[in-house]
Amino acid sequence: MTDQPLVLGIETSCDETGIGIVRGRTLLSNTIASSMDEHARYGGVVPEVAARAHLEELQPAIERALAEAQVRLQDLDAVAVTSGPGLAGALMVGIGAAKGLAVSLGKPLYAVNHLVGHIAADILTPDSVPLEYPTIALLVSGGHTSLLHVRDLTTDVELLGETVDDAAGEAFDKVARILGLPYPGGPEIDRAAVGGDPAAIRFPRGLSRASDLEKHRYDFSFSGLKTAVARWIEREEAAGNPIPVADVAASFREAVVDVLVTKALAACADRGVPRLLLGGGVIANRRLREVALARAAEAGVTVRIPPLSLCTDNGAMIAGLAAELISSSRRPSTLAFGADSTLPVTEIQVAERAGEAGA
C-alpha cells in the first residue's frame, strides 16, 4: 500500500459530525458540522438529538469535504470510521455510512479508536516536527478525561487513568448551570472568571488526597467538585451574601486545571517521559493551556498542543490514524464490527482482518 494513502475519515461519537480527508500526514479537509446549538436548550448533549443530526449532516459534510480537498471518492485508498468510545446511537450512524461508502466504492475500511484519534491529530498539525515517542497524552473534553502513555500510535497506547464520574467538560457545563450561565459551560466559565481570584475559594481537588492517590493516582473525579461549588453558593446565599461569580468561576476552573495538570505531570515524572500531548475540546480553555505550559516548563516537560480545530472531535484525526495504520501495513477491518461505546484505548483498530500482514 502507498506511503501516502488518501483516506476519508468519519467521526460521529458525540455531537460533532466530522469528515476529514488526509493524504498520509497531510490534512486536506477537516469539515465539521456541530449540533451543539440544538443541545443548548437541554443543557447538555442529548444522544438522540445528536444521532438525528448526524444522519442529516453526514452526506452534505462528505460533499463539502471532497470539494475542499479537491479529490473524488474514487481516488480514495480507504475509508475510516470511529468505532468507539462514544454515544452508541451516534456512533452507529457513522458506522452505517462508512460501511455503505466502503462497499459502494469497493475500498478498504478501517474502524478505529476515537481516543487514539485524538493523539493522531498531532501528526496532522502543519509544519510540526514529528511526534516523538513515548509521550504522555492528556485528553480532555465534554465526553472524556483520559491520561495515556503512548509508546507508539498504531501499536502501543496504555490507559493510565480516566474520570471515574463526570468528564472535565461536563463539570464546566454543570457548574455553568449552577451559576445560571448557558451551555456550553467552558467558554461561559472563562468569561465569568475574568477578573476573578483563582485562589479566592479553595475547592476540592478530586482524587488527590494521599489515600486516593494509592488507587487512583492518574484517575480524575469532578462530581464532588461540582457539588462543592453548589453547596458553597447555597451557604453564601443562605447567609445573605452576594455571590462573587467571578471568584467562584475562577476558583472552580483553577481546581479543574490544577488537578488535570498535576496528574499529567506526575505521569510524566513517574514514567520518565518528558513529553506531554494535550487534546480534546477543553484544551480550548486558555487557563488550562497557560498552567500546563508554565508548570511543564518548570518540570522540563515539552508540551504539544494541536490547533484547536484538530483538538475538538473531528474526522481528520480518524483519517489520520487510519493513514498511519495503512502506512504500517495493517490490514483493513472486517465489515462485521459495530459501535463500542466503551472501547478500551488499547484497541487502536477494531476487527482487523486475519491473514498475512502487509496487504
Partner 1 sequence: MIRGCRAGRTDYPGRVILGVDTSLGSAVGLIGHDGRTLAEVSQGGHLGHAEAIGTLLEQVLAAGSEDEDPLTHVAAGMGPGPFTGLRIGIAAARAFALGRDVPVIAVPSHHAAALAVIEGEHPPQHPFAILTDARRRETAVTVYEGIDVDGIPHAVVDTVLVPQADVDRKLGALRRFEVTGISGAAVARVARRAVAAGRTLTGSEPLYLRPPDALVPAAPKKVGS
Contacts with Zn ion by CB under 5 A lie at 141, 313
In the region spanning residues 62 to 91, those forming contacts with partner 1, defined by CB under 8 A, are 62-63, 73, 88-89, 91
Is residue 136 at the binding interface for partner 1, with CB under 8 A as the rule?
no
Is residue 46 at the binding interface for partner 1, with CB under 8 A as the rule?
yes
In the region spanning residues 263 to 282, those forming contacts with partner 1, defined by CB under 8 A, are none
Task: List the single partner that 141 binds among Zn ion, partner 1, none, CB under 5 to 8 Å by kind.
Answer: Zn ion
HSE-CB for 82 with a 13 A CA cutoff = 38
Instruction: Return phi, psi of residue 168, to 5°.
Output: -60, -40
Which residues is 110 bridged to in the sheet? 80
88 or 246: whose CB is closer to partner 1? 88
CA distance 288 to 272: 23
Beta-carbon count within 10 A of 336 CB:
9
Nearest distance from residue 114's CB to Zn ion, in Å? 6
List helix spans (H) across 18-87. 36-40, 47-69
Q: Are 61 and 55 in contact (CB under 8 A)?
A: no
Which residues is 150 bridged to in the sheet? 135, 157
Task: List the single partner that 269 binds among partner 1, Zn ion, none, CB under 5 to 8 Å by kind.
Answer: none
Task: List the single partner that 154 binds among partner 1, Zn ion, none, CB under 5 to 8 Å by kind.
Answer: none
52 or 216: whose CB is closer to partner 1? 52
CA distance 58 to 15: 12
Binding mask 295-334 for partner 1 (x = CB under 8 A): ----------------------------------------
Query: Edge-to-edge strands of the sheet including 275-279?
Result: 156-162, 145-152, 135-140, 275-279, 302-304
Q: Which of 235, 286, 346, 353 binds partner 1 (CB under 8 A)?
A: 235
Beta-carbon count within 10 A of 75 CB:
14
CA distance 22 to 317: 9
Which residues in this chain contact partner 1 in the complex, by CB under 8 A? 41-43, 46, 48-49, 51-52, 54-56, 58-59, 62-63, 73, 88-89, 91-105, 109, 177-178, 180, 227, 230-231, 234-235, 335-339
